[in-house]
Amino acid sequence: MKTGKLTNEQLQELVLNRLPKISPSTLVGASIGADCAWLNLGDKILVSSSDPITAGGKQSGTLAIHVSCNDIASCGIRPSGILFVIIAPPSATEEDITSIVDQASREASKLGVDIVGGHTEVNDTVKDFVVITTAFGIIDKSHPVPIGKAQPGDKLILTKTCGIEGSYIASMEHKDKLVGKVDDSLIEEAASYNQLISVVLEGEIAGGIINNDFRKDERGFYYSAVNLMHDVTEGGVYGASYEMAHFSGIGITIDESMIPVSDATSMICEVLGLDPYRLISSGSLLMATSEADRVLRKLNEKGIRASVIGEFTEGGFKLKTKGGDVIDLDPPVADEIYKL
């Protein structure tokens, strides 16, 4: 099998179709495009998500905290706790392990998230660090929540720029391939992108905006102004956008010319032969909303860059290229980072 995430078809056939039926206490369970599970705790809701870091190398501690916390933030919820698992290769040193733990502790402290447990072991079945985290957040039922699916006509908003995490990994783990080919200042800029990897702030801001008509669902939840959010992980902006539309049962058209790419990411991708639009990008958050101007204004007030990059449609997965051609948007494939 190919390296990277399973295709949507493989995920459905090999995994999802074989899972047991969920109980009534699970409000949202496993499905394509659904990163978080929602469980009914009576007067509160528990939202949780798990993610692995498999290509982060010795930067895995920094990345592992953010990828799972970002999933919780994509529900418009601030994460409160996290479980942390390290599987280290036999070649690892004690200093490597403490470095990863120190990274995770630092990032969790910044977010105000408690590391409440986990597991650590050395195992010869892995050749590099595998770090897995499970984050969770708890909300009252009065907290506004996304509808959970994008609607035709919704605008697609992207925060920050694309390829953030991939650029960071490349600058830290593959610097030898960049020196002399990419300006030192751009390599240094990408190496600072660990400061951009969290989307907790923008997720909390957007998720907390109650929709203009104060709609409620059958459970009494107020809906937020964003109908669906998704952080950009493996598969990049194109992959995450496709997943949002697929999960919602509708279509999407993305305008490539509207997707912001930093100079550092652009040059790193050019030298390494990577597609920035399909490069892992924790730090970027996608939002589907019918109130784009309002959401953009709230984000901009907090200093968060955000851009409309597309629109959800009744059907079809389309990409408008920089040249103006409209072509099919392919489903997610193995992330570009694995080429390294």
Fold classified for 8-140: 60s Ribosomal Protein L30; Chain: A; (3.30.1330)
Least confident of 24-33, 128-137, 217-226, 275-284: 217-226
Percent of the chain, pLDDT > 90?
76
Burial of residue 17 (number of CB atoms within 10 Å: 0-12, 13-18, 19+) = exposed
Q: How high is the pLDDT of residue 214?
A: 64
Mean pLDDT of 65-77: 92
Q: How high is the pLDDT of residue 218?
A: 66
Mean pLDDT of 16-41: 87
Q: Which helix (H) or strand (E) holds 252?
A: strand 251-255
pLDDT band for position 209 (cuts 50, 70, 90) = confident
**Which sequence spans correspond to the domains of the chain?**
8-140, 155-339
Distances (CA, A) of 301 to 4, 22, 193, 205, 294: 37, 41, 22, 10, 11
Distances (CA, A) of 160 to 168, 195, 261: 14, 12, 9
Class of 155-339 in CATH: alpha beta
Least confident of 155-169, 199-213, 239-253: 199-213
Q: Is 155-339 in the same CATH topology as 8-140?
A: no
Distances (CA, A) of 171 to 14, 110, 232, 280, 334: 35, 23, 19, 14, 20
Amino acid at 53: I
Tens of pLDDT along 96-123?
Answer: 999 999 999 999 999 999 999 999 999 9
Q: How far apart are the first and last CA of the chain?
A: 18
Tens of pLDDT along 127-183?
Answer: 999 999 999 999 887 788 888 899 999 999 999 999 999 999 999 999 999 999 999
Mean residue pLDDT of the chain comes to 92
Q: Which one-letter DSSP state was computed for residue 287? A: E
For residues 158 and 24, the answer to whether their CB atoms sit within 8 Å is: no
Q: What is the pTM of this model?
A: 0.84
